[in-house]
């Protein structure tokens, strides 16, 4: 049976997979909900999106996504509170960033209504897939990629926008030991580092594999010129606490404007935690580790919200971080997740009811 919500056609799956899912043991991003949003760009315009059953995609071998990498994505979550009401966290920021990324890769930008109304329609259809267990959420992956055909090196003339979702349990990275990268670069000035382009992540995998072989779990990226300044941690923004001050690098062509990052900065300032947005050198971090003023390092991103770093390696030497009874990481993560799940007041207006 088909229905129309905000001009978005809903084609429901004939059967559901939900009864086959163990919601008490969900792995991140490996189980997928019954439906997805699908929208095509053809003849110079985006068609009205549809909510359709989750399905495989067939593409021509000459589709330009395979050859020239026009692909961008976002990461979001939907939450249920104690009253089974559904919430998003700053979704318009994800929409804006998706279009910023698209523009950088010469992909046509999406209308806001297609993203927001499409997302709301999808969540309404699959609201039973949103877990309400503590720490769980429905991970949401909006993405756009080139489907137009041709081997000639030029932007495609056709694209596909999809939102697919995956119920996921609490994301625990465990104790993370990182290696400060001195050879490879994640991005460069004038490049696409600030965009959520698929190729950015593909380029990270090999250096990360090399770090894993050395006994580390992740890489801290440094600037492309002299590998002098700290920039990101794996696929996350990074925060460094020296004494009582929280420091993170400024956004640039090379650094992603993370939504969790922005939220942490605003939240910390509201809690009178000293925050500095500035370049921070590897030398400064190593010196702080040596003199005991380095208290914390943590990554910030959608999946884990905040992922504490236990220690780091640099030029053949490992540095352990102190074990603190109370950490900024733990406190800020709880404050953000309480806002996300409607357990506390939201003075910033970040929470979005579906």
pLDDT in tens, 214-259: 999 999 999 999 999 999 999 999 999 999 999 999 999 999 999 9
Let me know if 320 is exposed, middle or buried by CB neighbors in 10 A (0-12, 13-18, 19+).
Answer: exposed
Say whether pLDDT at 3 is over 80: no
Q: What is the pTM of this model?
A: 0.95
The domains located in the chain, with CATH, are 2-168 (3.30.470.10), 176-340 (3.20.10.10)
What pLDDT was estimated at residue 1? 43
pLDDT attached to residue 172? 65
Instruction: Copy the structure tokens of residue 18.
Output: 């939900």
242: closest CA among 199, 194, 196, 291? 291
Render pLDDT for 59-103 as a digit per residue (tens, 0 to 9).
999 999 999 999 999 999 999 999 999 999 999 999 999 999 999
Q: Is 12 buried (19+), middle (13-18) or exposed (0-12) by CB count in 10 A?
A: middle
Which pair of tokens denotes residue 204? Answer: 């990270």
Supply the mean pLDDT for the chain. Answer: 95
Mean predicted confidence (pLDDT) in 189-201: 95
Residues 6+ apart with CB under 8 A from 227: 181, 182, 183, 185, 282
305: left (phi over 0), alpha (psi -120 to 50) or beta: left
Band of the pLDDT at 134, cuts 50, 70, 90? confident
- Summarize pLDDT for 36-51 with one digit per residue, the tens: 999 999 999 999 999 9
Task: Find, among 65, 79, 75, 98, the residue nearest to 29 by Cα.
Answer: 75
Beta bridge pairs of residue 88? 78, 352
Torsion angles phi and psi, residue 228, rounded to 5:
-100, -30
Degrees to nearest 5, angle at CA 190 with 225 and 231: 50
Q: Are 37 and 124 in contact (CB under 8 A)?
A: no
**More confident call, 26 vs 129:** 129
Tell me the C-alpha distance between 296 and 327, whole Å: 8
In the predicted model, what is the mean pLDDT of residues 1-30?
85
């Amino acid at each position: 049976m088909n229905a129309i919500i905000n001009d978005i056609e809903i084609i429901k799956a004939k059967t559901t997979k939900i009864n086959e899912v163990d919601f008490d043991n969900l792995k991140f991003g490996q189980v997928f909900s019954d439906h997805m949003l699908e929208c095509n760009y053809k003849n110079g315009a985006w068609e009205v999106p549809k909510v359709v059953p989750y399905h495989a995609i067939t593409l021509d071998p000459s589709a330009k996504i395979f050859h020239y990498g026009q692909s961008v994505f976002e990461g979001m979550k939907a939450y249920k509170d104690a009253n089974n009401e559904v919430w998003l966290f700053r979704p318009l920021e994800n929409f804006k960033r998706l279009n910023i990324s698209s523009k950088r890769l010469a992909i046509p930008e999406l209308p806001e209504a297609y993203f927001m109304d499409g997302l709301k329609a999808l969540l309404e259809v699959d609201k039973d897939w949103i877990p309400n267990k503590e720490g769980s959420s429905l991970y949401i992956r909006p993405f756009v990629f080139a489907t137009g055909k041709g081997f000639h090196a030029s932007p495609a003339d056709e694209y596909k926008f999809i939102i697919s979702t995956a119920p996921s349990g609490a994301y625990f990275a465990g104790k993370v030991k990182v290696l400060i990268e001195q050879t490879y670069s994640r991005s460069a000035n004038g490049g696409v580092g600030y965009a959520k382009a698929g190729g950015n992540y593909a380029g990270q995998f090999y250096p990360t594999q090399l770090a894993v072989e050395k006994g580390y779990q992740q890489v801290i990226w440094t600037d492309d010129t002299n590998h002098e300044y700290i920039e990101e941690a794996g696929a996350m923004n990074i925060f460094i606490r020296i004494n009582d001050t929280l420091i993170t690098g400024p956004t640039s062509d090379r650094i992603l404007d993370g939504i969790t990052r922005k939220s942490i900065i605003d939240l910390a300032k509201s809690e009178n935690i000293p925050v500095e947005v500035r370049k921070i050198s590897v030398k400064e971090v190593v010196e702080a580790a040596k003199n005991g003023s380095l208290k914390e390092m943590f990554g910030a991103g959608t999946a884990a919200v905040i992922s504490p770093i236990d220690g780091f390696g640099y030029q053949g030497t490992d540095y352990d971080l102190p074990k603190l009874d109370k950490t900024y990481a733990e406190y800020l993560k709880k404050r953000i997740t309480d806002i996300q799940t409607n357990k506390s007041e939201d003075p910033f207006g970040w929470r979005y009811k579906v």
